[in-house]
Structure 1
C-alpha cells in the first residue's frame, strides 16, 4: 500500500505527458541557471560597478567616476536609481551579488506567474512549464543572471504595469513604471500606450516617482551634477561595441551613415504602420493591443535607437505570449525564426569559419529584431488589405475565419443533417 501511494502518476493524455516531461526539466533549468551559471559568473560583470557606486553613495563619496574610454561595464544609473540600489552595499560584495541574483530570479518567476494569469493560463496548463523552460533557457534570462543586472526586476515592473493598466488602476500602473524610470528609461515608450488609451493618471505617478526619488537622492549625492555633465552625454551617444542596434552594427562594420539612416527610417515606417493598424482596429481588444503594441514599441527602441543589447529582449516576453491568442501576429514560422535570433543562447562563433561565424554571432540579434518588426507589419498590413478587398473593414481586420459570423455559420452547417 505504501509503495502504491509513492508510485508516480502515469500520464493518460497528451497534455499530461507534456506537463510531466517539461516540469522537471524546467525546474532543473531554473536551479542550474540561478545556482550554477549565475553564481559562477562570467568575465562580464554588470554588478561590480553597481556595488562600487552604492558603496560610494552610502559613504558620501563621488559616484560618477567611470572612465568611458574603456569598454568595461559602466555605472550609468541616475541619482534616483543609486538611491534605490544603495542598500545592496550594506553587506559584503559576494553575498550582495548572490542576493541580487536571487532578487532578479524571484522577480522573473513572479513575472512568469503573472504572465500566465494575464493570459488566463493556469498552473495546470501545458503553457506553464513551456514558458518557464523557455524563459530560463533564453539568452536574456541566462545572461541577466550571469552578468547580474537589474533586468529581471524591470521585467516584473513591466508585467505589473500591463496588468494594472488593463485593470484601469492607473496610479499604481504609473508607480510600477516610475520605479523603472528612476533606474533606467528602458520602458519609457510604454507611456505611449497609456496615452493612446487615454489613461492620463498613469503619467502622474510614472513621472512623479522618479522626480520624488531624484529630489531625495540629489542632496544625498556627492556629485549629482557629474551625471548630467558626463553620463547623460555618453548615454545619448551610440557605440560600436556590445550594441545590437542598427547604428551600433553600422559603426562596427563601417556602413555609410546614409545607409544606416535609410535602414532605420524604413523600419521606422514599418513600426508606425503597425502601431496605426493596432490602434485603429485592435484597441478594443485590450490584451492583444497592449501586449502587441508594447512589444513593437520596445523592439523599435532597441533596434532603431542608439543602444540595444541582446538581453533587453526579456521585455518582449508579454509580446511572445500573445501566440496563445487566436488573432496573434506570431502564429507563423518567420516570427519564430526572428525570435530565435534574439532569444537563443546558441553561440555562432566558429573556430573553422571565423569571419562568417563572428558575423552571424554579432548580427543575429539585429536581424532577429528587424525580422520581428517586418513580420508584424506584414501580417497586419496583409490583414488590412484582405479585409478591404473583401469589404469587411467595419468588422475589423482579423482573418475571416476568426469573425463571429463566419464561425457561427460554420457551426450551423456542421450540425445540420
Structure 2
C-alpha cells in the first residue's frame, strides 16, 4: 500500500482536539459578529425578501420589486421575519446563515462517512470561512442560497442511504424557497427514481400554487420575474454576475459568442455528469460529483449567477477529500479556488465592480475540472487508495466504516 496516499486520509479522519474546535468557533463567530456589526438589517439580500413579505402583509405585490426573484412560497416563508424587529434580524440572520452552512458541511461529511469529530470536520468550515471569499459574502448578504447549501448535501445524504423520495422532498422544499436546485431533477432522471422526481416537482408546485392564490397578482412571478431573468438587463445585477455570458461581453467578447461558449460548456458538463453516473460505481463520490457537475453546468448559463452559488457544490466536493479518487484530490480543484482568497489584490481587478471576472474564472475552471474528472471514467477508489467493497460505498443503507478507522486509516 502506498503510505503517502494513506497518510492524508488517516490524518484527516482522526479525532480533532478541543483546541481545534475552539479555533473553529472563534472563526465562525467572528464572521457572524462582523456581519452583525456592519449591517443594519441582517444582510442586503435577505432584506429584499423580508421587504417583499412586508409589502405582501400590507396588501401590496411582492413582485413590485424587480430584485425579488423568488417563488410565491418564499414570501410566506419570509413572513415571520417581517414580523420581527430589525434589531432582531440584525442578530439572527447572520447566525442562522452560519448555522445553515455548518449544517450543510455536517451532512456532506456524513454522506462520505467522515466522523463529525474528525479533523476534516473542523478544518473544512474554518478554511472556507477564512480562505474562501464567497463564504463571507454569503453571510454578509444573508442570501437564501444558504438554503440550497444545506439542502443539497442533506438530499444526497438521504439518497446515499436509499431514501430517494425523501431526498426529492428536501430538494423540492429548497426549490420552493429559491429555485437554485432545479437542475437536480436530472439526477433523479439518471437514477431512474420517478418517485423522487415527482416529490421534487410536486412540493414546490403545491407550495407556490397555494401561496400564489394569496398574492394580489398570482401570476407575478411569471409576468414580472421571469422576463427580468430572461433579459438579464439590470445594470446593477450585471456587475456581479459570474457566468461567462455576463462577464465575457464586458471584456470585449460579442454577446452572442459569449452565450454560445457558455452554453457549449454547460452542455459538455451535463454530458460528463451523465457519464459519471453511468460509469461510476454506487457510492458517495458518484452522487456528489454527478450533482456538482449538473449544478456547475447550470451556473455557467444561469442569469444571474453569483460567487456564493459556489458554496452549494464546493463543501460536498471538499468533504470527499479523504477519498483518493475524488475531484478534491486534483490540483486544478485547488487552483480554481485561488482567485477567491480574501485580501489578495489582483491586477486590474481591484475595484469591487470587477470582482465578477475573478468569480467567472473560479466558476469556469472548477466546472472544467469537475467535467474532466467526471468524463474520465476512471475507477473511483476508497480512502487511502484502497478500492472499497461495494457495500462500503454507500450504495444502499450501509456506510463507509470511517468510525472504526481500521479499514483505511494509515499506520
Alignment TM class, shorter chain as reference? 0.7 to 0.9
Mapped to 1, the partners of 2:372 and 2:177 lie a distance apart of 35
Corresponding position: 1:299 with 2:282: no
Q: Which residue of 1 aligns with 2:152?
A: 158
Structural RMSD (CA): 2.9
Mapped to 2, the partners of 1:123 and 1:21 lie a distance apart of 15
- TM-fit CA distance, 1:172: 1.8
Q: Which residue of 2 aligns with 1:86?
A: 79
Residues 96 and 319 of structure 1: CA distance in aligned 2, closer, same or farther (over 3 Å): same
- TM-fit CA distance, 1:177: 0.9
Report the TM-score, using the length of structure 1 for normalisation.
0.79
Corresponding position: 1:29 with 2:22: no
- TM-fit CA distance, 1:212: 1.8
- TM-fit CA distance, 1:265: 4.3
User: Are 2:148 and 2:174, in contact at CA under 8 Å, matched by a contact in 1?
Assistant: yes
- TM-fit CA distance, 1:221: 1.3
Corresponding position: 1:368 with 2:366: no
SS at match of 1:330: helix
Corresponding position: 1:136 with 2:129: yes
Q: Which moved more, 1:158-167 or 1:287-296?
A: 158-167
- TM-fit CA distance, 1:253: 2.7
Q: Which residue of 2 aligns with 1:228?
A: 222
Q: Which residue of 2 aligns with 1:252?
A: 250
Q: Which residue of 2 aligns with 1:308?
A: 305
- TM-fit CA distance, 1:404: 8.1
Report the TM-score, using the length of structure 2 for normalisation.
0.81
SS at match of 1:46: helix
- TM-fit CA distance, 1:326: 1.9
User: Are 2:241 and 2:304, in contact at CA under 8 Å, matched by a contact in 1?
Assistant: yes
Residues 255 and 95 of structure 1: CA distance in aligned 2, closer, same or farther (over 3 Å): same
- TM-fit CA distance, 1:161: 1.0
Mapped to 2, the partners of 1:222 and 1:363 lie a distance apart of 40
- Note the 1:15-414 alignment, pairs <5 A: 19=17, 22-41=20-39, 45-66=44-65, 68=66, 74-137=67-130, 138-239=132-233, 240-282=238-280, 284-316=281-313, 317-341=315-339, 343-348=340-345, 355=348, 357-358=350-351, 361-381=355-375, 383-384=376-377, 396=379
User: Are 1:327 and 1:402, in contact at CA under 8 Å, matched by a contact in 2?
Assistant: no
Mapped to 1, the partners of 2:298 and 2:388 lie a distance apart of 36
Gaps of 5+ in 2: 1-9, 390-411
User: Are 2:109 and 2:121, in contact at CA under 8 Å, matched by a contact in 1?
Assistant: yes
Q: Could you say which structure has the greater relative contact order, defined with CA pairs below 8 angstroms and 6 or more residues apart?
A: 2
Mapped to 2, the partners of 1:218 and 1:265 lie a distance apart of 32
Larger Rg: 1
> Deviation string for 1:136-175 (max 9, x for gaps)?
2232221111111222222111121111122222332122
Q: Which residue of 1 aligns with 2:394?
A: none
Residues 360 and 36 of structure 1: CA distance in aligned 2, closer, same or farther (over 3 Å): closer
- TM-fit CA distance, 1:356: 5.1
> Deviation string for 1:312-345 (max 9, x for gaps)?
111011122222212112312222011233x533
Gaps of 5+ in 1: 1-12, 69-73, 388-395, 406-417
User: Are 1:34 and 1:102, in contact at CA under 8 Å, matched by a contact in 2?
Assistant: yes
SS at match of 1:64: helix
Give the length in aligned residue pairs: 369
Mapped to 1, the partners of 2:263 and 2:301 lie a distance apart of 8
- TM-fit CA distance, 1:307: 2.2
SS at match of 1:54: helix
- TM-fit CA distance, 1:226: 2.8
> Deviation string for 1:105-142 (max 9, x for gaps)?
22222222222222212233211111120232232221
